Structure 1
């Protein structure tokens, strides 16, 4: 099954409870690692309200980890890096 189906709700992937969002520089980061090939893959959503509308940017990286906690830590680090480098341009 493709990781896109798992990420966007298709297929019969094991449903895990959503992780707590983290605020960073006015953005909200929602880690969303998923299991692929027996390991957790780095994945997350960056959101921010811009002009009264909530904008979202979903990202997936090739990094995989045996531990969900490790995947969450790297997801947060990658999201902060994207925010620092691109700011609101991430939504364009």
Structure 2
């Protein structure tokens, strides 16, 4: 019993903390790369990831984390891709300003 208590106190799993997904989903949309990286947070999956675009030899990155949560990792990844496509369609390159 005491061992379990110490293990939970000093464990690095951090159940209440956000933890990035071990797998990232990458989707191409126009000249942009959408990388969905849902984060585990309190038993839910938070919608997060990044949008990238190459400008010559430079890659610009826009990273975001939304308040939206989903019950599973795949749903959070799909929602991130959907939101990223909408953002790209509305803002284009100004995402990186």
Q: TM-score, normalised by structure 1?
A: 0.80
Tell me the distance in 1 between the aligned counterparts of 2:43 and 2:69: 9
Tell me the distance in 2 between the aligned counterparts of 1:52 and 1:26: 14
Q: Larger Rg: 1 or 2? A: 2
1:90 aligns with 2:90: no
Structure 2: gaps (5+ residues): 1-13
Query: RMSD of aligned C-alpha atoms?
Result: 2.0
Structure 1: gaps (5+ residues): 7-12
Alpha-carbon shift at residue 35 of structure 1 (Å): 0.8
Tell me the distance in 2 between the aligned counterparts of 1:79 and 1:37: 24
Structure 1 residues 1-92: aligned runs within 5 Å: 13=19, 16-92=21-97
SS at match of 2:25: coil
Per-residue CA distance 1:5-45 (angstroms, 9 max, x = gap): x5xxxxxx4x6433231100110000010011210000010
Q: TM-score, normalised by structure 2?
A: 0.76
Alpha-carbon shift at residue 69 of structure 1 (Å): 1.0
Tell me the distance in 2 between the aligned counterparts of 1:52 and 1:35: 33
Tell me the distance in 2 between the aligned counterparts of 1:37 and 1:85: 32
